Amino acid sequence: MTIHTTAERRTGVYGGEQLARYGFGDGHPFGPDRHDAFWDALAESGLKAKIRSLPPVQARDEEVLRFHTGPYLEQVRQQSATGQGYLDYGDTPAVVGIYESALFVVGSTLDAVARILAGDLTRAMVPIAGLHHARRDGAAGFCVFNDCGVAIETLRQVHGIQRIAYVDIDAHHGDGVFYAFDDDPELAVVDFHEDGHYLYPGTGHADETGTGAARGTKLNVPLPPFAEDGQFLRLWSRAERFIENYRPQFILLQCGADALAGDPITHLQLSPAVHRQVTASLCRIADEICEGRLLAMGGGGYERDHTARAWTQVVAAMVETTERGIEP
């Protein structure tokens, strides 16, 4: 058992101009101002003195190709140079420079994974990340490269980590991750989201539990429109048991904040308290089972102030649990 002090700053948070640039222009729901809104809230909270602020890191093509196909990567590169058209069927514009910006999202996520596994950090947060809709061969829903999927493949292929828990509380079902690994028995998925009958992408039904040998390793929890904290948290205890029984070696959290009341494109009515409680719960499980290894990725969230507060609560829970000073 190792005792850590607050001064060691065991929680890392990534930020900087290259991450802020990932987006689709001022006025777009996924605009560059989301980054600064979060960092302003983090500064106001007093948490910046208790975390390690880390700069963005750019991924290499070969790292992206652990999850994505070569033809799709080349498509992104070419359309990013011209800024013309869409990378999907109309949600994800090919703005100039989006290829480079997406590489910084993936690279920052992978740097966080490497630092956690090396023991340099216990937990980390990459706010502009969690791009969970992108498929192996295409973009979707504002997501160009699926850093969650690249992280999972990197944990397996590079670091030898097989048993991974992926937890997603974004209002939208994380379809790009779910269906890429729905037959993978060593990836446990817990996905809370607004019922697909009412919200994009229309997937993630409760009876989707994995296929083949992976049946039973995936837990979809669709919530009705206008669900509030109480309903979410009553269901969360089942998710805790699901993750604990799986005994992962690493936990990934996609902590999208578009399930909060007031988000302009969803209908759920959660508060930032859910983000704090979920993160604290996962920190406890991580400390008990997998040496504290937890990486949070920001995901969606389109009401700037609410999103900033929710992500700040994620960081607060990480800092609070590491400040207790006890890790396995």
Name the 3-class secondary structure at 118: helix
Distance CA 238, CA 241 (A): 5
3-state helix, strand, coil in the chain (%, to 5): 40, 15, 45
Q: By CB neighbour count within 10 A (0-12 exposed, 13-18 middle, 19+ buried), where does 114 fall?
A: middle
List 35, 68, 132, 133, catalytic entry: 133
Return the number of other C-beta atoms located less than 10 Å from residue 39's C-beta: 20
Is 133 an active-site residue? yes
| Cα three-residue angle 154-160-163, rounded to 5 degrees | 90
CA distances from 64 to 102, 159, 184 (A): 10, 16, 20
C-beta of residue 295 within 8 angstroms of C-beta of residue 123: yes
Do strands 250-254 and 164-168 pair parallel, antiparallel, or not at all (unpaired)?
A: parallel
Return the number of other C-beta atoms located less than 10 Å from residue 159's C-beta: 15
Distance CA 316, CA 184 (A): 33
Q: Sign of the CA dihedral 17, 312, 125, 242? A: negative
Is the preceding peptide bond at 201 cis, omega within 30 degrees of 0?
yes
Distance CA 50, CA 252 (A): 22
The set of catalytic residues is 133
